[in-house]
């Protein structure tokens, strides 16, 4: 579980850095979705917990980036990505666990 928490933190740092430099919503949301699919595939039984950790880390990174003075390229897109991030996180975690269970059927 600690390993997955560290992976979620690293993924959140990468996603926040992408979101800060992005001028469109597609690339950050795609990176959120792909990382959530990976987490769901790695831990199919409790991938939703890691997806929630990722969403919480993205929220924390949003507020910490403001505290530390990082300015996004477009603040409206950065806010939208932050507030909508739980949906692709949870859906990606579900899809990753579904892919794992489907591919590993006997």
pLDDT at 83: 92
- Determine the pLDDT at residue 43: 85
pLDDT of residue 1: 62
**Where exactly are the structural domains of the chain?**
2-103
Count of CA atoms in the C-beta half-sphere (13 A) of 46: 7
pLDDT surpassing 80 at residue 63: yes
User: Could you give the CA distance from residue 34 to residue 44 in angstroms, rounded to a whole number?
Assistant: 15
Report the pLDDT value the prediction gives residue 4, as an integer from 0 to 100: 74
Q: What's the CA angle centered on 29, arms 23 and 33, to 5 degrees?
A: 160
Number of Cβ within 10 Å of residue 1's Cβ equals 10
**Separation between Cα atoms, residue 37 and residue 99, nearest integer Å:** 9
Q: What share of the chain is helix, strand, coil (3-state, %, to 5)?
A: 80, 0, 20
What digits encode the pLDDT tens for the residues 5-48? 888 889 999 999 999 999 899 999 999 999 999 988 888 887 77
Q: pTM (2 decimals)?
A: 0.87
Q: For residue 56, what pLDDT is reported?
A: 92
What pLDDT, on the 0 to 100 scale, is given for residue 47? Answer: 75
């Amino acid at each position: 579980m600690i390993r997955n928490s560290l992976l979620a933190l690293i993924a959140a740092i990468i996603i926040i850095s992408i979101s800060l430099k992005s001028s469109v919503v597609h690339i950050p949301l795609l990176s959120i979705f792909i990382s959530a699919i990976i987490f769901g595939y790695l831990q199919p039984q409790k991938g939703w917990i890691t997806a929630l950790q990722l969403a919480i880390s993205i929220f924390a990174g949003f507020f910490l980036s403001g505290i530390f003075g990082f300015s996004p390229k477009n603040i409206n897109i950065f806010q939208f990505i932050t507030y909508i991030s739980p949906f692709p996180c949870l859906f990606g975690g579900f899809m990753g666990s579904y892919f794992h269970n489907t591919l590993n059927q006997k």
